[in-house]
Amino acid sequence: MPFNILIGVCLSYVIMLFSVAFWAERRALQGHLSFLHSPWIYTLSLSIYCTAWTFYGAVGYAARSGLEFLTIYLGPTLVFVGWWWLLRKLVRVGRAQKVTSIADLISSRYGKSNALGVIVTLMAVIAATPYIALQLQSVTESFTVFAAPASDAAILPDQRRSAVWIAAGLALFTILFGTRNLDANERHHGIVMAIALEAVVKLLALLAVGIFVVWGLADGPADVIARISQAAQPGWALAPGRFASLTLVSAAAVLTLPRMFQVLVVENVDERHLATAAWAFPAYLMAMSLFVLPIAALGLALLPAQTNPDLFVLSLPLSQDRGILAMVAFLGGFSSATSMVIVAAIALSTMMSNHIVTPLWLALQRSPASDLRAVVLISRRLSIVLVLAMGYGYYYVSGSGALAAIGLISFVGAAQVLPAMLGGIFWRGATHQGAAGGLIVGFAIWLYTLMLPSFGTQGLMSAQLLAEGPLGIGWLRPQALFGVPGMDPLTHAIFWSLSANTAVFLGLSLMSFPPPTERLQGVAFVNVFDQRHGPGNWNPSGAEAEDLLSMAQRILGAQTAQAFFEAEAIRQGKQGWLPDPTPRFLAALERKLAGSVGAATAHAMMGQLSGGAQVSVRDLIAVARESADIKEYSIQLEAKSDELAQVARQLREANDKLTRLSVQKDAFLGQISHELRTPMTSVRAFSEILMEPDLPDAMRAQYAEIIHQETKRLTRLLDDLLDLSVLESGHVQLNITVANLHDLISRAVQAASQSGRSGVFTIERDFPAEHMPVFTDVDRLVQVLINLISNARKYCDAPKPVLRIIVRRTGRQVQIDFIDNGSGIEKASQGLIFEKFARLTDAARAGGAGLGLAICREIMHNLGGSIDYLPGQGGAGFRVRLPVRTPENSKVS
């Protein structure tokens, strides 16, 4: 068949896969996930286990070693049929912890240790390298075989060059479909769909070849069985130890191979699919292995001796000129190889990007997370290229060996994760020291005993080292450790690596004590089935309604909590207020509590009482954050309430002041009323008397005079009131002029002498001291002086009343003291005399409404000075203070 047609068919097939993957991706994006939710798709995607190794290599394996090839299918079958509960636990843990890869699983289980993630990733990448090389080799060889018989052998490309193209093509396809979008749970619907299709293609292809062999080349099953017996060789004898080891390793590999973990756990959309896969996947494996031995037997019988048994599947149809069948077989092999490479590359690139590249990039980046998405995508693409490049490198270096032998190297490498994985999900005591120690020791032994020797004696290990051990130390011989010879290299490597791995894992785990995060994660993994699935989905058995009520009362308050419980009890048709702790009720209670104490705290409390769910570190941090928020809020509330209390106090004070003012206003109005009504009374009474006809003229004149005086008194009162109101309002027009203080006092004395009582009243003055200029409202000042002098005239009760006027200048003030020799003012009254209507004596002597001193005080206030009672002077004493002003600064502000 022309090589070009082969390339064309391959390309068409790839384009078809592409279309299927694209279509599935589109459907998934539109939310049409029903077809992906079929357990058959899941089962078919698991068939990724069957790679080119199975498709081509199993026949080669059978041709060389007889039934031993069955171990590769026996291991997974045992796991799926017998250990389905282990798979279920793995899937449950993976979903509960949102695990993205096997490295993530191990890292997450052991206290989210990234070091472990790095170790597992490196191991997985190194262990997968031979496996990827195997696929490249098989595809390349199948190309060669296909093209070889053709006439145009001249254009048969160099095998290694075509391997480069194949690797590059696979890398491209993987990048295009594996890293198109970043999904939180790392699911790739398109890829899964394409792989399921490839699973069908490879099964049908192998069955077609098998049927052709059994009924086309041989005469049915009986003939085939006879031929198998004939083909039996000495190498076909089963070595029980090796058989058991290989079964164990393949059982481990189906769990620990990164690509198997990817389809088994990460891509799993529904845990129930495992139930179908548990029988369907082993059935698929059986169908895949059904015709392996017949093909091997007939290949050995019919094909030339030098034919590579790994390619019997292809060579047999070709030898019979069955071009179409050969093409189908070729596509089956191609499918097996490509699906494995694609999924392995995706799984490995996810691990490399998540555990190595991204943490490194974040550590190197000063400004965090500018565009992590782009970094992740680029790192995944580079990782895919790297994985394929390493596979090609291995293929290039190691040359072409038997496919099965290469695959087993990878199996043993991947199996090293098994102790840490099983210990992680079944043993709470497993620690990250144990896991790391076991992984490193197991992996090192694998490298030393299997991986490095696989490069051949021309490779990394010399024949001498293999034969005599490093530096001639015999017990360190890579294929006979500790002087235990007699095992074949593979069994030897499996035995030592896994037993040392397990021993170190158990030993270090028992010796070390895990930190809290790890203990909590350990509980979460081991007890995954005891945990709730979703938020608020509590296990009802754990919670006692009474405990819940007592907790709820403490948080919600007794009344609210009891009402809440009672309502639920009534809803459930129960007496009293203790309802059954149904999941629905527990979820409702958690929401209710969350309203008071925050979601994290509520969840932690419910977890405590319901049992089962543990409190994770993240929960604790959330609790702490909430508590801080609540504390902050209560501090704010406290500040608010302090503020309110202060406002309330101010309001109370303002109210008291208003009440006082209101009382004062009432008193003031009462006073004014009294002061107005008193003269009115006289006026009315006398005017009525005057209206009487028989009044003597003298009396009439006297009473008219009284009316006259009283009306004058009324006018004076009104004037004073108006004056006071103007002064108090502060809208006084001051007329500032300069004057000699002596002249002003003389004016006041003069004016005061015209009023008040007649009789001897001596005023003592100190004329020289009085001569000073004052800049002030002269009339207002004189008004004050007159008031003080007339008060003295009115109230000084000494037999020989004397008023001394003393002027003194002190600093920037002028003091004018008015001191008489009377009995003065009682101490109790001294504070009252400047108040309005504070007349201390009877009305007759005062002759005023008692506003005089109040007016004086307001005037002095307006002039920038003051007036005070001066106690302890023998008589009544008043001091007037006036600021000394110059014409420049005399303006009153």
Residue 364: count of CB within 10 angstroms of its CB = 7
Among 42, 110, 686, 818, which residue interacts with another protein (rule: CB under 8 A)?
A: 686
Please say which residue, 698 or 844, places its beta carbon nearer to another protein: 844
Residue 703: both structure tokens together: 């009473």
- How far apart are the C-alpha atoms of 421 and 443, rounded to whole Å? 15
Please, which residue, 397 or 832, has the CB nearer to another protein? Answer: 832
CB under 8 A: which stretch of 201-209, 273-281, 532-540, 666-674 binds another protein?
666-674
Least distance in Å: CB of 856 to another protein?
22
- Smallest separation (angstroms) from another protein to the CB of 656: 22
| Contact between 681 and another protein per CB under 8 A | yes
- By C-beta, is 442 or 824 nearer to another protein? 824
* Binding-site member from 221, 670, 871, 887 for another protein (CB under 8 A): 670
Contact between 685 and another protein by CB under 8 A: the answer reads: yes
Contact pattern for another protein over residues 787 through 826, marking x by CB under 8 A:
----------------------------------------
Euclidean distance between CA atoms 133 and 198, whole angstroms: 20
Residue of 599, 597, 609, 598 whose CA lies nearest to 556: 597
DSSP for 717-732, written as a single string = HHHHHHHHHHHHHT--
Q: Site residues for another protein, window 830-859 (CB under 8 A)?
A: 839-844
Q: Do the beta carbons of residue 579 and residue 572 sit within 8 Å?
A: yes
Q: Please classify residue 721 by burial: count the beta carbons closer than 10 Å to its beta carbon, then call 0-12 exposed, 13-18 middle and 19+ buried.
A: middle
Nearest to 257 by CA among 148, 360, 340, 320: 340
Least Å from the CB of residue 795 to another protein: 13
Give the residue with the Cβ less far from another protein, 652 or 677: 677
Q: Which is nearer to another protein, 156 or 706 (CB)?
A: 706
User: Could you tell me the smallest distance in angstroms from the CB atom of residue 836 to another protein?
Assistant: 15
Three-state DSSP state, 656:
helix
Q: Which stretch binds another protein (CB under 8 A): 82-90, 139-147, 326-334, 669-677?
A: 669-677
> Cβ distance 305 to 223 under 8 Å?
no
Query: What angle, rounded to 10 degrees, do the helices at 102-109 and 323-352 form?
Result: 30
Other Cβ atoms within 10 Å of 521 Cβ, number = 25
Using rule CB under 8 A, residue 680 touches another protein: yes
Closest approach of another protein to the CB of residue 880, in Å: 27
* CB-based contacts of 226, cutoff 8 Å, min separation 6: none
Report if residue 673 touches another protein, rule: CB under 8 A.
Answer: yes
CB of 671 to another protein, least distance (A): 8
Beta carbon nearer to another protein, 419 or 679: 679
Q: Is 710 in the site for another protein (CB under 8 A)?
A: yes
Q: Which two tokens stand for residue 112?
A: 């989210």
Which residues in 403-462 contact another protein (CB under 8 A)? none
Does the footprint of another protein cover residue 709 (CB under 8 A)?
yes
Distance set, CA 416 to CA 271, 278, 388, 805 (Å): 26, 24, 22, 118
Q: Can you tell me which of 678, 711, 783, 815 binds another protein, judged by CB under 8 A?
A: 678
CA-wise closest residue to 390 among 619, 192, 136, 581: 136
CB of 183 or CB of 666, closer to another protein: 666
Shortest gap between Cβ of 705 and another protein (angstroms)? 10
Cβ–Cβ under 8 Å, residues 877 and 824:
yes
- Interatomic CA distance for residues 618 and 517, integer angstroms: 9
Task: Candidates 400, 682, 746, 890: give the one binding another protein (CB under 8 A).
Answer: 682
> Which strand (E) or helix (H) includes residue 805?
strand 802-810
Give residue 105's region: left, alpha or beta (phi > 0; psi -120 to 50). Answer: alpha
Residue 698 binds another protein, judged by CB under 8 A = no
Only one of the segments 401-409, 620-628, 706-714, 784-792 lies at the binding site for another protein (rule: CB under 8 A); that segment is 706-714
State yes or no: residue 717 binds another protein (CB under 8 A): no
How many chain residues interact with another protein (CB under 8 A)? 26
Shortest Å, Cβ 718 to another protein: 16
Q: Residues in the site for another protein, rule: CB under 8 A?
A: 670, 673-686, 688-689, 706, 709-710, 839-844
